[in-house]
Amino acid sequence: MKKLFVIAVVSFGSFTAFAQQVATAADVATEIVSQEEFSEIEISALPEAVTKAVATSFPSASISKAYVNKKEQYKVEVALEDGTSASFIADKKGNWIEE
């Protein structure tokens, strides 16, 4: 009886691990597609709410590039004071979106 229980637990664990791997691969594919949807725009074309969000969250940063997608989400690349750079995505109201 113990053997049956152990086999059942190990089998269930194997199925769970496989499902997690498949979900991870799907997430990566979705992320790649969403990044391709952005088109570069002029920094001056950013909504005021997005530029205010950058200025509030990163007062010493300057926006170096800006992009937009069909969902009106804006990807901004910023140059930080310490010489590094970062990119963030915000909606048209200036709310940050996790990548």
Q: Domain check: are 47 and 94 in the same one?
A: yes
Both 32 and 43 in a single domain? no
Number of domains the chain contains: 2
- In this structure, how many other beta carbons lie within 10 angstroms of the beta carbon of residue 67? 18
Domain co-membership, 10 together with 46: no
22 and 47 inside one domain: no
> Would you call 93 helix, strand, or coil by DSSP?
coil
Of 61 and 33, the one with more pLDDT: 61
Same domain, 17 and 47: no
pTM of the model: 0.62
**Which tens digit of pLDDT belongs to each residue from 47-84?**
999 999 999 998 999 999 999 999 999 999 999 889 89
Same domain, 48 and 95: yes
The whole domain housing 1 covers: 1-36
Q: Are strands 85-91 and 73-79 parallel, antiparallel or unpaired?
A: antiparallel
